[in-house]
């Protein structure tokens, strides 16, 4: 539920609130790759590039072969 809410917030341009939703989702399910990816995108949208990169690195530890994670290292 938090993932969907975070995605909705992010698509509406509300990156700051999306960060909160994705962060909470990550706390509830710390090995959920999608929560890390959503959080990284939200940080990216809020122009907190250092935090976006760190979160993407955390996601890479969960699944180093995921193509969505590679986006942050190709940009």
Per-residue pLDDT of the chain (75 residues; tens, 9 = 90+): 889 999 999 999 999 999 999 999 999 999 999 999 999 999 999 999 999 999 999 999 998 888 887 776 665
CA atoms within 13 A on the CB side of 3: 12
Check residue 12 and give its pLDDT. Answer: 96
Check residue 47 and give its pLDDT. Answer: 96
How far from 70 is each of 16, 35, 50, 73, CA to CA, in Å?
A: 23, 16, 16, 5
Check residue 69 and give its pLDDT. Answer: 79
In degrees, to the nearest 5, what angle opens at C-alpha 21 toward C-alphas 73 and 56?
15
pTM reported for the whole predicted model: 0.88
């Amino acid at each position: 539920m938090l993932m969907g809410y975070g995605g909705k917030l992010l698509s509406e341009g509300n990156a700051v609130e999306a960060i909160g939703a994705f962060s909470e989702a990550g706390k509830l399910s710390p090995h959920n790759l999608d929560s890390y990816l959503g959080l990284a995108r939200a940080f990216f949208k809020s122009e907190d590039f250092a935090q976006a990169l760190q979160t993407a690195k955390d996601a890479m530890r969960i699944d180093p072969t995921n193509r969505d994670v590679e986006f942050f290292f190709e940009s």
